[in-house]
């Protein structure tokens, strides 16, 4: 058995048997991990209060040979996520952020970009950055880091620069291409949407917020990212469906 430790962000916590919990966490140095926190359901557990989804922690664990599950030995809270969990919209957004990492982060494979993206997005949200802006920035960046949705600079179809061309979503939603490469159901995007997808490469959330895009632009970013993500995963993220259904229910 080998002892490891890293900064991490907790993604998911589920009960196991009467006393234990299974924790999935994104580490800075070892990718995604799943482990058992023994006794975490007991009243006076040493893990009490620390195992909340999206908490930033310093975690120590034991790797066991021939087991995918590690044993979590200690967890120290570094940043509480509770500011995000005060209302339903914040809780839904939190599960959406975590869901992306459960899907896109690899086990045992460090990805500093993904870790820093989740970490900095949570930081900005806890400092009250606009939630819709943060969600659009985050979902577009996850797809970009995964190599699925590059910045719209060149058309992947013909290799020409997109700067002075109309940009739109390719027929099956696999990415952004010029009109000539678009096929029958090519859907043009507003220039502001393309601009946002370029700006996220140079500006962090706080800077984006100083000249925040209009709601209609953020809506288009959301729908484009959702289509690219669906085309890649061949299904929808569960948390995204829950958000859409819950918010639609509230508005009725």
Q: Binding segment for Zn ion among 127-135, 146-154, 174-182, 243-251 (CB under 5 A)?
A: 174-182
Nearest to Zn ion of 97, 155 (CB atom): 155
Q: Binding segment for Zn ion among 97-105, 131-139, 176-184, 188-196 (CB under 5 A)?
A: 176-184
Tokens of 173: 């939603």
Cβ distance 38 to 46 under 8 Å?
no
CB of 223 to Zn ion, least distance (A): 21
Q: Binding segment for Zn ion among 26-34, 75-83, 127-135, 175-183 (CB under 5 A)?
A: 175-183
Cβ distance 228 to 148 under 8 Å?
yes
Nearest to Zn ion of 101, 178 (CB atom): 178
Phi first, then psi, for residue 127 (nearest 5°) are: -95, 15
Among 114, 133, 155, 221, binds Zn ion (CB under 5 A): 155
* Residue found under tokens 């800077």: 207
Rounded to whole angstroms, how far apart are CA atoms 132 and 161?
Answer: 29
Rounded to whole angstroms, how far apart are CA atoms 108 and 2?
Answer: 14
Binding flag, residue 178, Zn ion (CB under 5 A): yes
First to last CA, the chain: 55
Binding flag, residue 158, Zn ion (CB under 5 A): yes
Contact residues for Zn ion, defined by CB under 5 A: 155, 157-158, 178, 181
């Amino acid at each position: 058995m080998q002892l490891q430790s890293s900064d991490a962000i907790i993604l998911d916590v589920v009960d196991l048997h009467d006393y234990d919990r299974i924790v999935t966490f994104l580490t800075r140095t070892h990718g995604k991990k799943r482990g058992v926190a023994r006794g975490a359901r007991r009243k006076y557990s040493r893990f009490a209060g620390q195992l909340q989804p999206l908490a930033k922690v310093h975690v120590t664990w034991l790797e066991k040979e021939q087991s995918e599950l590690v044993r979590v030995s200690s967890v120290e809270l570094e940043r509480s996520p509770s500011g995000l969990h005060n209302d339903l919209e914040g809780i839904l957004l939190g599960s959406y952020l975590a869901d992306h990492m459960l899907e896109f982060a690899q086990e045992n494979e460090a990805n500093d970009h993904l870790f820093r993206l989740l970490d900095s997005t949570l930081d900005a949200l806890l400092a009250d950055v606009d939630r819709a802006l943060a969600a659009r920035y985050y979902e577009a960046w996850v797809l970009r880091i995964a190599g699925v949705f590059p910045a719209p600079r060149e058309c992947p179809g013909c290799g020409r620069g997109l700067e002075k061309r109309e940009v739109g979503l390719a027929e099956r939603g696999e990415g952004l291409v010029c009109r000539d490469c678009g096929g029958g159901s090519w859907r043009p995007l507003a220039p502001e949407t393309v601009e946002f997808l370029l700006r996220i490469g140079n500006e962090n959330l706080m800077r984006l917020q100083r000249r925040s895009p209009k709601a209609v632009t953020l809506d288009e970013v959301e729908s484009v990212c959702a289509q690219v993500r669906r085309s890649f995963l061949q299904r929808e993220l569960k948390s995204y469906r829950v958000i859409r259904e819950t918010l639609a229910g509230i508005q009725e």
